[in-house]
Amino acid sequence: MPMKGRFPVRRTLQYLSQGDVVFKSSVKVMTVNYNTAGELSEGARKFVFFNIPQIQYRNPWVQIMLFRNMTPSPFLRFYLDNGEQVLVDVEEKTNKEITEHVKKILGKSKEMLEKEERERKKLSHPATFGPKKYHLRECMCEIEGQVPCPAFVPLPKEMRGKYKAAMKNEA
């Protein structure tokens, strides 16, 4: 099965999860106006090609729209939920600079992300076991330090009901 597209690495989960721009919850729409030709839009083109998949992966609820060849100079526009619009001029900027800029003005800071991570962790207890959907392990036998599953390692005689019943009958 051949790989699809010019840079198929953009489709890998590892690449996508490497995106570090997580927008604040007030950002609803992101609009990119850029040109398909011209030296000035080069950074914007690279940004659209390489970084927007990462951003959309980390922010699945933000609507991203691309407009090509509508204005002479490239820019980004963010629409927040209180009606505010944020304009970012990206002429003559590399795509890395653009991501840094966007992360600085509208991205969640690292501390905030870590805090959210910790909150999410608090909801589930890692020591419990049960259905795979809610817990890490399904059976007690999977936990380290516990009796292994009798399907793989037979239990010692003394723990088996058969032996215990036989002993009781004997006595």
Partner 1 sequence: PGLFPGLCPGWSPRAVPARGRKSRHDPPAKSKAGRVKLPPPVDPEELLVVLERYRQHRLVLSALRAEFRAEVLQRKREERLAAEGSVEELEEHRRLMAWNEEENARQQARREERLRKQEEEQKRRKLEIAEKQARKMEAFLEEKEKEVLQLQEEAKNFITPENLEARIEECLDNPRNYNFAIDKDGRIVKRTVLS
Under the criterion CB under 8 A, does residue 29 sit at the interface with partner 1?
A: no
For tokens 């933000």, what's the residue? 62
Under the criterion CB under 8 A, does residue 52 sit at the interface with partner 1?
A: no
State the DSSP H helix or E strand holding residue 16, giving kind and residue range, or none if neither. Answer: helix 13-17
Which 3 state secondary structure label does DSSP give 164?
helix
Give the binding-site size for partner 1 (rule: CB under 8 A).
13
Contact 27, 80 (CB under 8 A): yes
Instruction: Find the shortest distance in angstroms from Cβ 43 to partner 1.
Output: 12
Residue 2 DSSP label: -
Under the criterion CB under 8 A, does residue 77 sit at the interface with partner 1?
A: no
Which range in 6-14, 29-37, 50-58, 89-97 contacts partner 1 by CB under 8 A? 89-97
Under the criterion CB under 8 A, does residue 113 sit at the interface with partner 1?
A: no
Which range in 104-112, 125-133, 136-144, 157-165 contacts partner 1 by CB under 8 A? 104-112
Select from 27, 32, 55, 106 the one that contacts partner 1 (CB under 8 A).
106
Please state, in angstroms and rounded to a whole number, the distance separating the CA atoms of residues 143 and 122. Answer: 20
To 10 degrees, the CA torsion angle through 101, 103, 106, 108?
Answer: -160
